[in-house]
Chain A
């Protein structure tokens, strides 16, 4: 069955430091992949998506993600984290069924 794994439940970084959030998917073919951010009590905001083509995807708020087929990964990165980036981050995939499978989420804490 299709699944999405986010190995890190919590991550803490200092403001200005770089960030990488991990996401692995299990699916035979290349799924459609997404990263969302959720602030407390809020809905989901799309950061970026990968459907095909260039494996390095640029998103909003300075985020990027790289699709690596060999590692079944779609890790999210940001070179310099801002305090406002503190939130919950979800990786999601769609294997072509038009249904999303979400990872368990990674809660990001940013230290001043």
Chain B
């Protein structure tokens, strides 16, 4: 149990367009979902934390207007990269807490975004 999926797994978009990435907890309800960004050969950096029905909490230095997060239900969170630019190209990974297990996060497989 505790499977997290992401869609799409890979997306290419043109500069100036927006792209939405979905994160779903398939077999559990997620108290909190997290979005990370990973540059090539680097570590994961937390971008934001979201709870169902609440506004996301962004980490320092993350532009909330650039990276829109919506947590519509206990199983779905979306990250929309608005007006994407080549420097937004990265690997985006989401994770989720299962209800009652606040200290363990279950990670999705990641989405590779390439902005041309």
Contacts and interface: CB of A to CB of B under 8 A. Distances in A.
Interface of A: 32, 34, 36, 41-46, 49, 51, 90, 94, 96, 98-100, 102-105, 107
B24 to A, nearest CB: 13
Interface of B: 6, 32, 34, 41-46, 49, 91, 93, 95, 97, 102-105, 107-110, 112
B108 to A, nearest CB: 6
Counting from the closest, the 8 A-B pairs by CB-CB distance are A43-B109, A44-B107, A102-B43, A43-B110, A102-B44, A32-B103, A104-B43, A43-B107
B42 A104 contact: yes
22 contacts: A36-B107, A41-B91, A41-B110, A42-B109, A43-B107, A43-B109, A43-B110, A44-B44, A44-B95, A44-B107, A45-B107, A46-B107, A90-B44, A94-B103, A96-B103, A98-B49, A98-B102, A99-B46, A100-B34, A102-B43, A105-B42, A107-B41
B107 A90 contact: no
Given A43-B93, A43-B108, A43-B109, A100 B46 contact: yes
Contacts of B45: 102
Most chain A beta-carbon contacts within 10 A, residue among B107, B108, B110, B112: B107
